[in-house]
Amino acid sequence: MWIYLFKVLIAAGLTLWLAMRLQLPHPSSAVITVFIVMQPQSGQVFAKSVYRLLGTVAGLIAMLALVALFAQERVPFLICMAIWIGLCTAGAMRYRDMRSYGCVLAGYTAALIGIPAVMSPEGAFMSAVMRVLAISLAIICSGIVSAALFPQTTGAAMRNALYNRFGTFAGYVADVLRGKLERHVVESGGVRYAAEAVGLENMRSATAFEDPHMRMRSGRLSRLNSEFMTMTTRLHALSRLLLRLRQRQADVVLSAFDMAQAAFLELLDSVRGQPLTPPDAAAVAERLSALSDHTRVRIREARASLLANAPSEEDRLDFETAAELLFRLVDDLHNYVQTHASLAAPHHAREQWKAHFVAKANAMASTVAGVRTALMVLLLSLFWIMTAWPYGGMFASNAAAVAALASSSPMPHKTAQQMAIGAFFGVTVGFFMNFFVFTQLDGYWMLMFALAPIFMLGSFVALRPGYMGYGLGSMVFFCFTSIPDNPPVYDPSNFINNGVAVLLSMATTAAISSILLPPNSAWLWRRLERDLRRQVVRVTSDPLPGLSSRFESATRDLLNQAYGLANGRPQVQKELLGWTFTVQEVGQAIIELRQEQERLPVEPRFAEDSPWRQSIRAMGRALARLFLKPSQSNLQRALAAVDQAIACVDAQREPYSQHFDESPLRRIQSHLHFIRTSLLDPHAPLPQYVAPSEPATGIAHAS
């Protein structure tokens, strides 16, 4: 941390010195950019810098066009500017990666340049040029310092995360399969791995700006993340099935399953807690390849042992489903380790990966954020026009910038509140420094000696989890009000009026963000929950190529958003988790059903118009209707459709003498049975729609 703080200080000092030597009129713009783009890892600095520059240029071009069109008319100009900022804010909500940051910059740069241009349009072009120069200078200095002085690369951080993840996950899998972990621990693990998948995707994007070697492996890193998400979904589906078996005391099934998984657990125990480098991954991949064949044999032996005890039809289907999930989990782990091992080579066939992480944003949430910001800019601009306040331009432009910045955070009102409190301390300290310290100094080095403690303290606060708004607000507005201009002007009256305008704009932004449809209210997480349920509709109809990756990334991104918005509401978070796991289980089973049908040989009994395939299509429609609008009647229709599909497949399936892995209809039947048990899982949200007279565990299916 101390290394990072000193790097921030050096980058800010170098930027300030060059800005003053180059006679930039407002060196504060360059120094503020340093504090915004500096990150502990150099890849994040490069990514943020590129998108900041692109966003700034886009905002300046838009603003110069508006100034050219409406130079003499404030009202049309401010209306168009509010619309532009609203569109940029909506884009920032739509793209929650570095593109979001570019949209934010395009929005608030327009406000910072455009509103002063209303008063003096003849200076708009030079103001735009000077801002681009200041930002470019800060980006260059930040990039050089971050990469040259004790570099901490995003690529190295990502490699360490990938190396350590496998050993931790292997131990987690072994404990889950043995039933050692409580249900809430397994659920919290699902949330943690969902957040980790989103974080690793952001790190992968940042490494492309930093390391050509990681850029050559970008497809494999994306594939690795996708395979990990598939693996966690499979594990959670299996863990929920095993939990249901333990709760109904299906000891015969559990005993047979323990026989099948024994060798897999031994392998997991041998790599528990160990980092996985690419050479190690190659060795583990060989062991998993051999284990895959061994697991198939053990499953056959366990099935024979189970059938010797004359199990019920439900027990038989439960074992077939659990065994299929286990075999696929071993295969998923093998694919993951193979991709990890391929990272050792500069080029590899596994790099050809077209499916990518798909961030899923709610259109209504993006629209509301854009409309909220646009209305805020319009209201504050109207206040400025009606009151003719000399510092109303500062008031309106600063509020627009803070609103755009805060809108891209999960809780804009909280971010705005933190920045307002930070701005108060920044302006207060700035007043003292301006009129009691800076006037006594002579030369650049004395100025930096006075600024260094403030820069380091603000950067330290911004690094603390949950306190970033305080640190960022204090540093941005300290620099904005206190860094001397070229030439410096010490005017207490002007400083106080600007400070009052800044603080009023921050307080107004925080108030409006808290009142006008704040994202942490029920309307947004309910919509995100609905979007989550709609993923089941998508897997029944979307094109099959790349569908699994799109489904896995979208569900995790939605969970990550909704879970954060529902922070402090454990009951809401529990319900969101329940829907997420049910959607993942049912959705993945539908995808695999579709894949099984794609692989069917050309035979009359597998024809598209065969009764069992028609029943599966009817089941898909019933499931889509259920997840679109959960209700008692839709649940009963879906269960009846699943029961009908199971019965139709049962009438066509091969005899038990044929091995399970050679019988597509028996595999399809196990997927159907798993969908049915997921719908009736007592820990899922759907059983609440079962009629009171009909227990969730008592609905029998035809066999």
Question: What's residue 694's pLDDT?
Answer: 46
Rounded Cα distance, 332 and 545, in Å: 17
Residue 649: which of 635, 663, 634 has the closest Cα?
A: 663
pLDDT > 70 in the chain, percent: 91
Rounded Cα distance, 646 and 698, in Å: 17
Rounded Cα distance, 76 and 634, in Å: 51
What average pLDDT does the chain have? 81
- CA distances in angstroms from 551 to 188, 557, 580, listed in the order given: 20, 10, 12
pLDDT band at 15 (very low <50, low <70, confident <90, very high): very high
Cα angle value 74/77/81 (rounded, 5°): 135
Rounded Cα distance, 27 and 447, in Å: 13
Name the phi and psi angles at 326, rounded to 5: -65, -45
pLDDT band at 699 (very low <50, low <70, confident <90, very high): very low
- Terminal CA-to-CA distance of the chain, rounded, Å? 63
pLDDT band at 17 (very low <50, low <70, confident <90, very high): very high
Pair 328, 237: CB distance under 8 Å? no
Question: What's residue 619's pLDDT?
Answer: 92
Rounded Cα distance, 384 and 377, in Å: 10
| Residues 6+ away with beta carbon under 8 Å from 188 | none
Taking only the tens place, the pLDDT of each residue in 245-261 is 888 888 888 898 888 88
Residue 423, helix vs strand vs coil = helix
Q: Which structural domains are found in the chain, ordered by start? A: 2-152+359-515 (no CATH), 154-209+218-342 (1.20.58), 522-689 (no CATH)
Number of H-type helices and E-type strands within the chain: 25, 0
Higher pLDDT, 565 or 42: 42
Residue 435 pLDDT > 50, yes or no? yes
Rounded Cα distance, 207 and 150, in Å: 17
Rounded Cα distance, 409 and 36, in Å: 15
**Could you tell me the two tokens for 382?**
């109207």
Question: What's residue 222's pLDDT?
Answer: 82
Peptide bond into 279 cis (omega under 30): no
Taking only the tens place, the pLDDT of each residue in 647-696 is 888 887 666 545 566 677 878 888 888 888 888 877 778 766 655 544 44
Q: Which range, of 91-105, 110-124, 313-327, averages the lowest pLDDT?
A: 110-124
Taking only the tens place, the pLDDT of each residue in 463-520 is 887 788 888 888 888 888 888 888 887 888 888 888 888 888 888 888 877 777 676 6
Residue 618: which of 679, 544, 672, 688 has the closest Cα?
A: 672
Question: What's residue 693's pLDDT?
Answer: 44
Question: What's residue 700's pLDDT?
Answer: 36
Higher pLDDT, 229 or 699: 229
Residue 598: which of 674, 664, 646, 670 has the closest Cα?
A: 664
Pair 481, 499: CB distance under 8 Å? yes
Can you give 433-478 as a three-state secondary structure string?
A: HHHHHHHHCCCHHHHHHHHHHHHHHHHHHHHCCCCHHHHHHHHHHH
Taking only the tens place, the pLDDT of each residue in 543-598 is 888 888 888 888 877 777 777 666 667 777 778 778 888 888 888 889 988 888 88
Taking only the tens place, the pLDDT of each residue in 142-184 is 888 888 888 777 777 778 888 888 888 888 889 988 888 887 7
Rounded Cα distance, 287 and 309, in Å: 33
Rounded Cα distance, 470 and 463, in Å: 10
Residue 191: which of 687, 467, 558, 523 has the closest Cα?
A: 558
Average pLDDT over residues 350-375: 75
CA dihedral 233, 335, 178, 259 (to 10 degrees): 120
DSSP string over 333-381: HHHHHHHHHHTTSSS-GGG-----------HHHHHHHHHHHHHHHHHHH
Residue type, 475: M
pLDDT band at 356 (very low <50, low <70, confident <90, very high): low
Rounded Cα distance, 529 and 525, in Å: 6
pLDDT band at 625 (very low <50, low <70, confident <90, very high): very high
pTM of this prediction? 0.76
Residue 54's CB is within 10 A of a number of other CB atoms, namely 17
Question: What's residue 408's pLDDT?
Answer: 64
Average pLDDT over residues 607-627: 89
pLDDT band at 440 (very low <50, low <70, confident <90, very high): confident
Average pLDDT over residues 93-122: 74
